[in-house]
Amino acid sequence: MKLARYVPLALLVFCLLSALAVADSKQKGEVTFSDHVMVSNTQLEPGDYVVRWNGSGPGVRLQFMHDGKEVASVTGKVIEQKNPYKSVTTTSGENGSRVLTEIAFSDVKVVLTPGEASTSQ
C-alpha cells in the first residue's frame, strides 16, 4: 500500500522532467561547418557544433559547443519561424575569412549580433 502513495508522485516527476527535456531541445540546434568560419573573433574549425541559447528575441547569448566544450559565445537574436531547410549565412571578412551571420534551423533563425561577443577556450 505504501507503493500506491508514491506512484502519483513518481508520475508527476516524470511528466515534469519530460517537459523540461522537450523545452531544452527547442533551445539548441546542430550545425556542421565544412570550412573555417569566424564567430566574432573566434575561428571555428570545420566540424559539428551544437548551438545553445536561452529564450528568444534580441540580446540572447548563443553558445557554440564542440565535443561538449564551449568554444565561442556571442550575443544574437533568436527569431521563432518555420524554415524549409537548415542553412548557414556568412559574409566575407578580413583576409577572405568567412564570418558567420545567421543560422536557420527548422523552427528558429539565429542572427548573430556583431561586436558583442565573449570567447572561452
Taking CA atoms, 103 is separated from 13, 56, 114, in Å, by: 35, 14, 14
Give tens-digit pLDDT for 55-84. Answer: 988 999 999 999 999 999 999 999 999 999
**Does pTM top 0.85 for this prediction?**
no
DSSP state of 3: H
Give tens-digit pLDDT for 17-55. Answer: 444 444 444 799 999 999 999 998 899 999 999 999 999
- Say how many residues make up the chain: 121
Phi-psi region of 87 (alpha: psi -120 to 50; beta: other; left: phi over 0): beta
**Cα torsion through 88, 90, 95, 96, rounded to 10:** 80
